[in-house]
Amino acid sequence: MPVAPPAFPFLSDHALRPAAELADAREGGGPIRVQPRYGAPCWLVTRYEDARFVMSSPAFGRNWERAGIDTEDVARVTPVEVTNDTFSAQDPPDHTRLRRFIFRTFTPNRVEALRPGTQEIVDRLIDEMIEKGPPLDLYTRFGLNLSVEVICNLLGVPSSDKERFTIWAEAVLLSATSPEHAAASVEQMKAYLAGLAVLRRQEPTDDLIGALVRARVEGDQLSDDEITNLLRILLGAGHETTASQTVNFTYLLLTGDGYRRLVEEPELVPTAVDELLRFTPLISQGSLARFVLTDVEVGGTLLRAGDQVLIELAAANRDAAAFKDPDTLDLARKSNPHIAFGHGLHRCVGASLARMELQVALAALTRRLPGLRLVRPPDQVDWLIERFVRRPKELEVTW
């Protein structure tokens, strides 16, 4: 009698430590079969080499309809219904076309131009923290405010509307919200962003929305719906995720000697950020499925067309075949080809923005608050673990 695949996701003994079953699967070699909370059984990839292959091979797609899979069978760890109308769910040639527009407008120079403004935001937030005095929650007082202000400045969202995005993003990202409420929030966000796109056509601006509205690639131009969906992806990726990693990184640094080391060696901040990205799980296990378009072998296992694959990035980033002493947080790690932002066609378009924000945040915190420490013992911190959110519910700090 066939053995039923294990339930997925696996449980970990700590929110920022990958589950032991993931290491077992990785060391066993090749993909394993699992049963996610929702949808059909699927393959789970945990090895670094296999993860990179699945994310870059044309044998895999992100559009389930193209793969002949029913919507209700899509493997996922959340009850929220999946949708094909987003940038992340497109395959070439549609995805290639949209990504060309992103690279044309969301350039490294545009991101780097945000660094001085990001530094001003960070310094102002730290000034406010010092004025209020400890103890305080680093997430609400620093991480969340920083990410909201930076992404809204990038998009050109009026400061009076910034609070709306926090409400919408939480409704979409947190499972405590009903699917109906999440869907309604998505529609409200889309309508708001579509309205901004219309305004930019009437009154051009230099922000990202204005750039996307004006952009032309080989005579082609984005529709308002395409602009709205691209902005929605950027907003989600650049809001809660960066806020969460800011406090996650600080927690990890404060529970060891990492924070003190960055105080003493500030030149390590850039490499420290990449090492923390490698080391720290963010997206809940295997959140975004890939779909097998043609029979293909992965790690010695034959996957058939119509199969589904979940990729566990946190496990792949702890693979000893790719990283020396992978379970050690080495802030000075020199070779660090991590895939925290994904790989291939669907690598996170906001990677450079997130990296810049995290560098500025950690550099300023360690410079201006060298005595920062946790109010509670590390094992008394309560955690919030959702599909795209993994962070302390509160991270009370003092200095």
Mean pLDDT over residues 219-226, rounded?
82
Q: What is the number of structural domains in the chain?
A: 1
pLDDT at residue number 235: 73
Bridge partners (DSSP) listed for residue 136 = 397
pLDDT given for residue 297 in this prediction:
97
Burial class of residue 80 in the structure, from the number of CB atoms within 10 Å of its CB (0-12 exposed, 13-18 middle, 19+ buried): middle
Per residue in 151-185, pLDDT (tens digit) is: 888 888 877 787 787 777 666 665 555 667 767 77
In a domain, 158, yes or no: yes
Whether the per-residue pLDDT at 302 is higher than 90: the answer is: yes
The reply to whether 233 falls in a domain is yes
Q: Is residue 12 part of a domain?
A: no
357-386 residue pLDDT tens: 999 999 999 999 999 999 999 999 999 877
pLDDT at position 177: 54
Is 167 part of any domain? yes
pLDDT by residue (tens digit) across 10-24? 988 888 989 999 999
Structure tokens given for 212: 């996307």
Q: How is residue 282 written in tokens?
A: 């963010």
Question: Could you tell me if residue 50 is inside a domain?
Answer: no
Residue 134 corresponds to which tokens in the numbers above? 């400890």
* Predicted TM-score (pTM) of this structure: 0.91
Domain range holding 190?
Answer: 85-287+322-398
Domain contains 230 = yes
pLDDT grade, residue 387 (50/70/90)?
low
Confidence check: pLDDT of 241 > 90: no
pLDDT (0 to 100) of residue 76? 86
Q: Residue 157's pLDDT is what? A: 83
DSSP H/E element including 396: strand 396-398
d(CA 119, CA 121): 5
Residue 284: band (very low, low, confident or very high) from pLDDT cuts 50, 70, 90: low
Closest of 189, 206, 181 to residue 86, by C-alpha: 189
For residue 73, being part of any structural domain is answered with: no
Q: Is residue 295 part of a domain?
A: no
**pLDDT tens per residue, range 109-130:** 888 999 999 999 999 999 999 9
Place of tokens 């406010």: 128
pLDDT tens digits for 50-106? 999 999 999 999 988 888 899 889 998 876 666 666 667 777 877 788 888 887 887
Integer Rg of the chain from CA: 21
Q: What is the pLDDT of residue 327?
A: 96
**CATH number (domain holding residue 338):** 1.10.630.10
- Residue 346 pLDDT level (bands cut at 50, 70, 90): confident
